[in-house]
Amino acid sequence: MLSIFDEVGEPEVLYNQANPEDIEGEFASLMRSVYSKMDILKRSPDDFRTKERGGRLRHILRGAP
C-alpha cells in the first residue's frame, strides 16, 4: 500500500492507494492517472508494443521451439 504525505506544516495525505478516490487534489489525480495507465498496460501490453519497443523480440520468441 502506498500513502504519500506532505510534511511541510500539518501533515496532509496527498495520495492513499487503499482509498484512491477519497483524496482530492492535483497530486492525487496524477497518481490515479498513473495507476490507471499501468492497469491498462497489464491488461493489454501488446497494444503498446511496436517493433522498436520489443514487439519484434516477442514475435521471434513466439516462433521459438
The pLDDT tens digits of the residues spanning 6-61 come to: 677 777 777 777 777 888 888 888 888 888 888 877 776 666 555 555 555 555 55
Contact present, 1 and 18 (Cβ < 8 Å) = yes
Question: Exposed (0-12), middle (13-18) or buried (19+): which is 15, by Cβ within 10 Å?
Answer: buried
Domain ranges for the chain, please list them: 3-62
Q: What is the pLDDT of residue 50?
A: 57
Contact present, 51 and 38 (Cβ < 8 Å) = no
